[in-house]
Chains A and B, each alone.
Chain A
Amino acid sequence: MDWMKILAAAGVVMMLFFMWPAYKHWSQNGPKAEKGDWQAVVLPLAAIVGFVVLLIMMVR
């Protein structure tokens, strides 16, 4: 249904519009990463990727 797509698109555009100030705030005023910070994020996210692959294999 076209009107549903237009409604969804309006919702997405509204979210983009309201997310922009949050992005600007955090990119300008947020603390910068220190040594080892990104490593501490990548490890659990890699575990999530592995876990999701495992879940997909379980339902196949």
Chain B
Amino acid sequence: MNQFDLSTARSQESVLETNKVLKNTYMLLSATLVFSAIMAAVSMAMTMPPMAYMISVIGAMVLGIFVLPRTANSSKGIGVIFLITGLMGFGLGSILSIYLALPKGPEIIGTAFGGTGIIFLGLSGYALTSKRDFSFMGGFLFAGMMVVLLAVLANLFMDLPALSLAISAGIILLMSGFILFDTSRIISGGETNYIMATYGLYLAIFNIFISLLHLLGALSGDD
């Protein structure tokens, strides 16, 4: 009986811990997305050139690889995640300026924004309600990302529009898989650091938005 009480208390503790990580992750994710949007607006107001996107993304990537994992367990991690998402938002602003100049630009941006929101909410809801452990997808998702990165590398020099569209479609599917994977890792207790969890989900949302923007822009008949 005592053993049963102890295991029940432990499982309740772990559920409470999981709910806390989940709540903190979604709160920080909302804050970083709002901050990104503000930085994108600043970048658009400053009419930044397209190369600002690449420089910002590479800067954010360097911070995400080298600085964030070292600071994620302290309060400094919050500052670093805002710096990363702010940089990515700033870069995004220069891309949005290009799309806004298209005849259907505002419609494309609005559709990509709404579509990204629906994809994220739908997949998160599915992962939360199905209670399945999607961590078996880890090897497949990272292998898929490496294949996509090799295709991106090849297309930097080949400039094939069809390959570029295939890459965007592949990224949407892979990032959708990462939303399931990351959310289920939070639920199962595999990810207990809400800063790292936020970073993973933010990257998935950002990449889905950019890829959707590319697909809609290219297939809308505007260019």
User: What residues of chain A have their CB less than 8 Å away from a CB belonging to chain B?
Assistant: 1, 4-5, 7-9, 11-16, 18-20, 22-23, 25-27, 30-34, 37, 40-41, 44-45, 47-49, 51-52, 55-56, 58-60
Contact = CB atoms under 8 A, between A and B. Distances in A.
A41 B145 contact: no
Contacts of A44: 122-123, 126, 176, 180
A33 B220 contact: no
Q: How large is the interface on B (under 10, 10 to 19, 20 to 34, 35 or more residues)?
A: 35 or more
Interface of B: 51, 54-55, 57-58, 61, 65, 104, 107-108, 111-112, 115, 118-119, 122-123, 126, 130, 132-139, 141-143, 145-146, 149-150, 152-153, 156-157, 169, 172-173, 176-177, 180, 212, 215-216, 219-221
Nearest to B108: A59
Contacts of A37: 132, 134, 136
A41 B127 CA distance: 10
Contact of A55 (B65, B130, B212): B212
